[in-house]
Structure formats: C-alpha cells, structure tokens
Amino acid sequence: MPQPSWNVNEIFYSIQGEGRHTGMPAVFVRLAGCTMNCPFCDTKYAARDGKLMTGPEILKALSAWPAKAVIITGGEPAEQDLPALIAVLKDAGYQVHLETNGVRDTDVSRADFVCVSPKKYVSADMLKKADVIKIVVGQDTDLEDLQKYYAYENAKTQIYLQPESNKQENIDLCVKLLKNHPSARLSLQMHKLANIR
C-alpha cells in the first residue's frame, strides 16, 4: 500500500513573523498549490513548484532543527490532505500551527493553532474554527465587508488586521480601523521589516 504524500514547496527553519506568535522559532512546511491567485500574494511561487514527500520524508527534514513547532502554510494547505498531515506531525510530537485562507472546510481539530486569512471568499465553518482571523488590509479593501468578520470574535477567536505589504498608508488605515474596534490587533509582517526569511 503506497504511503500518502504531499506536494511540498519548501521546508525551512525561521521565526514566525506575523500575528499572535510573532518571534516564535518554528519550522515552516510550505505546501504547493493554490487556486485563489490573489493579486497581493507574496508567495506566488508556491502555487506552482513542489515535490511529493511522504510523512517519513517530511519528518526526516524536520529533524534537522531543534524547534518542536511546525507551521503548515502555502500555497493553500487545505487543497491537499491536511488532516492526515496534521496527524503525522502530532503523532511525532510536534506542535502544529496552520495558516489557511479558509475556503475549504476541513478537519483541523488536532491542530494546536489555526489562523484563517480570508480572501475573496471563505467558509463560515472555518472561521468558527479559527484561533485568529487575519485580514489583509489595503487601499482596495471593502471596509464594510470587513465588518462581517467581527461577528466571529469570541473568547477563542481574535481578529488581526495586517497591512498589505507593510505599506505606510495601509498601516495608517489599520490603525484607524483598530481604534474603532479596539478588541482587534495589528499584525505587521515583522520578518520583512527585519529582513528575516
């Protein structure tokens, strides 16, 4: 019986540069493939390029580094068998964080942390499973549409506003929005500001 495999764009060791866990050392498993094609995407290369890796091959790659936190990102991870990958990592003792656009409702019950970053459309069920809803804010953002995500805030789920491309005009817009909705938080892409991969 063949082992399950995932199309992996890259695996690398760095620090989390965004959101609640900014500054946390982690190994990133970037899965290949994404059908969303957002114009502001900063990882367009991950939509195309990847190589198939089995669970043992992924675990062997992870073993090169001391961190026990793994961030599954993309591309869009939910376009592959995400529950099975989460299970492989959890069974090996890793803390699993997930970054997804939330388009596809999928089982993320074993993940330790789920960040949903809605784009053109998103599954309401995935928003309910999120620990963080991270909204990329730019000059073209529909600010009235953005308000609907506030309904998903609760004791578990927090809203983060992330200025598109760290542009000052987008930072200013996020700050203005946050002042009107103080339970939300600002998420700068610290890794880009600090020139960290």
- Please report, for the chain, the start and end positions of each structural domain, with discontinuous segments joined by +: 5-193
Give the span between the Cα atoms of 31 and 80, in whole angstroms: 8
- What is the pLDDT at residue 93? 98
pTM equals 0.95
- What is the pLDDT at residue 186? 97
- What is the pLDDT at residue 120? 86
- Its CATH architecture, for the domain 5-193, is Alpha-Beta Barrel (3.20)
- What is the pLDDT at residue 2? 76
Below-50 pLDDT ranges, the chain: none
Neighbour-count burial of 94, counting CB atoms closer than 10 A to its CB (0-12 exposed, 13-18 middle, 19+ buried): buried
- What is the pLDDT at residue 117? 97
Give the span between the Cα atoms of 197 and 179, in whole angstroms: 31
